[in-house]
Every structure is written in structure tokens, then in C-alpha cells.
Amino acid sequence: MEYKSKGNHFYVILSTSIVLFFLGLFLLVLLHSQHLVDILKEKAIHVVELKQNITEAEKEGIRTFLTAQEYVIPNSVQLIAKEEAYNSLELTEDSKVLSGGMNPFSDVLSYQLLSTFTERESLQQNIESMAGVEQHYSQNIFYEQIKTNLLRVGWVLLLLALIFGVLAFALVYSTLNLQLYSDRFEIKTMELVGAEDEFIIKPYIAQSLRVGFLSSLIASILLIIFYFLTGISSGFFAEILQFQWILLTIVAISLVAMLFLSMTNRYLIKRYLSKQMRDLYN
């Protein structure tokens, strides 16, 4: 099948590419939402404030306990001495005099947890019950709320894809109708001389697959550009985005493009093949 209207051909490819691009963004949000939550969970710093009168043995015991836990990220356990915290304020001599030279800080141990660990409250209670521990602090991040907001963005992208999908369907419908109307006598002649439906449909389906390939190629290039620009703009996004999911998304939208256009064309052609000879003049 060859579209005689090059303009319509161009708009079909353009509109389908836009649909696939928004659909691809939706899939990327869907695939990366849980991964983002996992990264935030593992980046969260948990702090154990130690008592002022803690002994070195008690301090080392708490540190050893944390290091030995399989759900604590290796090498994440850090001891921050109160002197180090005090010096980090970079107070002037006048400020030190006003404060009386007192150090208000305590020694603390910080650590990070694997995202797969779920018994966080139980761990906090266990640590607070240990000798030498003053209090335990955790960053209060609403992980599920973040995931929910991401999915809302995804649904907006899907809605945009559906809106452009309706436009793409209308363009495909009108373009193919014009082509079929132009070819209506050739189609009916082939049918009258014994050509099977699949033989008549085959060139139209082949053309729709070519259009689907071009559309998915354009959308894939846009998604790859989005991937690299986002990764370059922020190291955090570079850590979140997974290239294998980009590839999976490209495969998915390519299949959607092929199926969407081939099924639409098959439906319209079947309609024409079912028409009586007198209907071809209307």
C-alpha cells in the first residue's frame, strides 16, 4: 500500500510518534517508581545519639552490632565524634567565648539500611534499649507518598497519550479511507477473480508496519535523548534511570505501534471487502 497523500502520511507518522513518546514516558515512570523509592530508602541516614558518659567498650559494642547486621549497607556505619561536629560549625573565637566553650554535641553513629529491610521500627527499639544509647533518629521520608505522586504524573502522561491516540486513529482512519476509496475498483476486481482476502490485505498491512516502524523509531530516538539529557543534568537522575528499562520501553512501544496500525488497517480493509459492488460508488 502506498499513501497517495504524502501530507497525510507525514501526519500519521508524526501523531503516532507523539502517542508512542508519551506512552514511553508513562512506562518509564511506572518502571522506575519503585526503584526511586528503593534508592531514597537506602540514601536515608539513620543516626544513633550516644550518651555523654558512654564507655569505649559500649560504643564499640554498638558499632559492632550495626556492622554485623546483614540489612545494614556495608561500610555505611560511621562514628562522628562530638569534637568533629563542633568543629564543623566553624565558630569564631567570640562565639566560643559566648558559649562558654561548651560542646553541646554528643558522639553519634550513622548508618544506612537496605531497601528490602522492613523491620525498621523494631530495629530502632532494639538500638534504643542498648546501653550507652541516648536516642535514635531516622529521616522521615514518606516513601509511599512519593511513589503515589510519581504514578499520578504517569497517569497524566498516559492521558496525553490517549488524547493523541484518538487524533492518530482519526488520521489513520481518514488516510486509509482515502487510499481504499481510490483503490476500491482494483480491490473488488481482485476479489472477483478469486484473490483471497489475505492476499488483498497483505500490501496494506506491510505499509502500516513500515509506518509503525518509522513512528516507533522517532519515539525511541526522543526517549533516548530524554534519557541522556536527564542523566547529564543530574547525577541523582543518572543513578535512578536504568538503561535496560529504556530498552524494554522501546520494545514495548514498537510492538504497540505495529499492532495499533496493522489492526486498524485490517479492520478498515475488511469493511471495504464486505461491501457490495453498488456501495463502491457511494
pLDDT in tens, 136-183: 888 766 666 777 777 788 888 888 888 877 877 777 777 777 777 777
Please compute the mean of the pLDDT values over residues 190-212 and round it to a whole number: 81
- CA distances to 5, 31, 47, 48, 58 from 134, in Å: 77, 41, 11, 8, 12
- CA-CA distance, 163 to 174, in Å (whole number)? 17
Q: Where does the pLDDT of residue 92 fall: very low under 50, low under 70, confident under 90, or very high at 90 and above? A: very low
In three-state secondary structure terms, 92 is coil
Higher pLDDT, 204 or 234: 204
Q: What is the pLDDT of residue 217?
A: 93
The DSSP symbol for 53 reads: T
Q: Residue 110 forms beta bridges with which residues? A: 47, 78
Query: pLDDT higher for 219 or 260?
Result: 219
For the chain, domains (ranges, CATH) are 6-39+144-281 (no CATH), 45-140 (3.30.70.3040)
What is the phi/psi pair of residue 260, to 5°? -60, -50
The pLDDT tens digits of the residues spanning 94-106 come to 444 444 556 566 7
DSSP label at residue 279: G
In 3-state terms, what secondary structure has residue 138?
Answer: strand
Give the rounded percent of residues in the chain with a pLDDT score beyond 70. 83
Residue 90 Rama label (left phi>0; alpha psi -120 to 50; beta): left
Q: Is the pLDDT of residue 252 over 80?
A: yes
Model pTM?
0.69
Mean pLDDT of the 11-23 span: 86
Only one residue has cell 501530507, namely 7
